[in-house]
Amino acid sequence: MEIIFIDWPVSGALDKARGLYTYTKYGSIFSKAIRLYLPKPNLPNLPRLIFTVTNDLTYDQRMQRICGSLALNGYEVLLVGRKLRGSALLGEQPFGQKRIRCLFTNGFAFYAEYNIRLFFFLLFVRADAFCAIDLDTILPNYFVSAIRRKKRLYDAHELFTEQKEIVTRPFVHQVWLMVERFAVPKFKHGYTVNIFIGDELKRRYGVDYGIVRNIPVTTQIPDSEFQTPHSNGSFIIYQGAVNEGRSFETLIPAMKQVDAKLVIVGMGNFFEQTKALVAANHVETKVELKGFVAPQALKQLTPQAKFGLTLFEATGLNQYYSLSNRFFDYIMAGIPQVCVGYPEYRTINDAYEIALLIDDTNIETIATALNKLMADTVLYERLKQNCLKARTVLNWGGEEKKLVGIWQRVLN
């Protein structure tokens, strides 16, 4: 006889710790039947939080981390995104997941359709509070929370109106500025990813948001991965959105001067252009475009790389004052990186020295930095060992406490 734990798919997929229920298992042949037919346990009525994004949920590590932490800290959580034609099946999470299918997939038509569909979904879903992730879902959250008299919170993952793909399009920029000016002042509670964005939103709209950085959960990596200076692979990795403003126009040509392979993991609005750049520069044998990779597989892949890349053009305040997920993901994986020397990155590097910083994203600058980190074993090993030390400090534990504290204040 064997004792097993069963986590029921209760309303909103409450966190596993609270959904666990113990039953006696008389043999493996009956395990599925036990899951299907035994009665569900009575569970406490927890506060229900609804989070909304415009992306596919499968690869959103940031939201999986945030929603998972809140689910494990006494909240029932539902994460809402969109479903694409090629969307993978959703993985099991300690929180609920909902994807909305749209006829349109990009541009104004998509945003209009998705926001209308999201509005009607939120209008009738059970909730105690709503959280808009960035400006592209803020309007439905505002109107529904106002109509239903529920709490609302804004998660400013980026300084949305200062992204390159927005500031370089005057009409699009003005539309999003109108949305920002209308909605953000109405969200008195919120958090963002770094001090600059928090200060900028306070300067513009008088809101005082908390800071919850994009730092990963601590992962266990075998010690053997870090024993010698050359224990990592020979490839360079870029992980994250393949979007405008990420310096692919200069990175891809720079690879012609580098004797190494570049693996690009992710998709985005500049993916097809990046593919064309690879062909135009005849570096098909040096650059691999892997597209989306599941988070768990990515956590296995990243530590195998020699080092990572964090590159942003200076166009737009959002790029210049960014503090991206990948910057911390490389540290957690125990690998150095070549990184732009913008203020937020320089501050952290001054404290931990985990990256080779560059002053610009020109072709020659990138190529020189990549070759230096490939060839200088003393520098490489120093940065690598510093990553191992920094990962014990720069992890999700401290940020999770801040996140939970913010939500406690909102709901109280």
Task: Name which of 105, 122, 107 is nearest 55 in CA terms.
Answer: 105
> What pLDDT, on a 0 to 100 scale, did the predictor assign at position 44?
65
CATH 3.40.50.2000 domain extents, the chain: 48-215+395-411, 223-390
Give the percent of the chain with pLDDT over 70.
Answer: 86
Among 296, 272, 306, which Cα is nearest to 61's?
296
pLDDT at 105: 87
Name the pairing type of β-strands 20-25 and 261-265: unpaired
Residue 159: how many CB atoms within 10 A of its CB?
27
Q: How far is 20 from 5, CA to CA, in rounded Å?
A: 6
Which CATH code fits 223-390?
3.40.50.2000
Q: What is the pLDDT of residues 63-121, one digit of tens each?
A: 999 999 999 999 999 999 999 888 888 989 999 999 999 999 888 999 999 999 999 99
Q: What is the CA radius of gyration of the chain?
A: 22
Looking at the chain, the number of H-run helices and the number of E-run strands are 17, 15
Q: Which of 138, 119, 62, 68 is nearest to 96 (CA)?
A: 68
Q: What kind of fold does domain 48-215+395-411 have according to CATH?
A: Rossmann fold (3.40.50)
**What are the Cα distances from residue 235, in Å, to 118, 124, 185, 255, 381?**
41, 49, 46, 12, 16
Asked whether the beta carbons of 75 and 407 are under 8 A apart, the reply is yes
pTM (2 d.p.): 0.84
Give the pLDDT confidence score for residue 309 in this predicted structure: 98
Residue ranges of the chain whose pLDDT lies below 70: 1-44, 222-233
